[in-house]
Amino acid sequence: MSTHACPWWLGYLLVTPLRRLLENPAKILTPWVQPRMTVLEPGPGMGFFTLELARLVGPGGRVVAVDLQERMLATLRRRAQKFGLADRIETRRCSRDDLGIGDLAGRVDFVLLFHMLHEVAAPDRFLRTVHTVLKPGCAVLLAEPPVHVSPSAFQASVQEATKLGFEIAEPARGRRLQVLLRRPPI
Ligand SMILES: C[S@@+](CC[C@H](N)C(=O)[O-])C[C@H]1O[C@@H](n2cnc3c(N)ncnc32)[C@H](O)[C@@H]1O
């Protein structure tokens, strides 16, 4: 059980433009995110992916960004204002035990879990909540950082997700710890 959360000051490093050379948000997200979607992003940090999610859902869409740390969310909001995207991004502070997204049950079109699941204290409960908010047939992109997560630990998380009812829509490729999970259609 993890009790670690990325320190807030590291959040600034995670939004450096240089990161795009290795992880380009537009390239990673464009295949999965369409205009007018409702997207949930737990653990957005300072919003490296959130701004691109907001661009992709467009003015008719919505991104709900939920983080444990208010300092991450405050900087995310400032960056969203700066890029004219604040009207479609809602930030919520959560606790370790409760994501506080009960109102989104069955209403979310896409979930992004990028480099955050390894910090979650109770991943099974967390993934069950994510399953509940997704519309049937909709997907979760799960990616973990190889510096903190071993391939076997990643596989264990994916297996846990399948036990909870997710199916694997796109398996991990090469050395990337990244899969697309889907809540099966009804
Ligand atoms: C390593 S950072 C990654 C940030 C961002 N996803 C990225 O890739 O740049 C992990 C983030 O997840 C947040 N976090 C950790 N546990 C969480 C939980 N149980 N619920 C919501 N956010 C959480 C941390 O506060 C931190 O902002």
How remote is the C-alpha of 104 from its chain's centroid?
A: 15
* Beta carbon of 47 within 6 Å of any ligand 1 atom: no
Nearest by Cα to 170 from 36, 5, 31, 58? 31
pTM, rounded to two decimals? 0.96
- Give the H or E element holding residue 53: helix 50-57
Distance 186 CA to ligand 1 centre (A): 31
Question: What are the residue ranges spanned by the domains of the chain?
Answer: 44-93, 111-186
Give the per-residue pLDDT at 5: 86
Test site for ligand 1: of 8, 68, 120, 144, most ligand atoms within 8 A of the Cβ: 68
Distances (CA, A) of 73 to 45, 90, 134: 7, 10, 23
The domain covering 111-186 belongs, at the CATH homologous superfamily level, to Vaccinia Virus protein VP39 (3.40.50.150)
Distance 41 CA to ligand 1 centre (A): 9
Q: How many CA atoms lie within 13 A of 110 on its CB side?
A: 23
Per-residue pLDDT tens for 51-107? Answer: 999 999 999 999 999 999 999 999 999 999 999 999 999 999 999 999 999 999 999
Structure confidence at residue 2 as a pLDDT band (50, 70, 90): low
d(CA 164, CA 168): 12
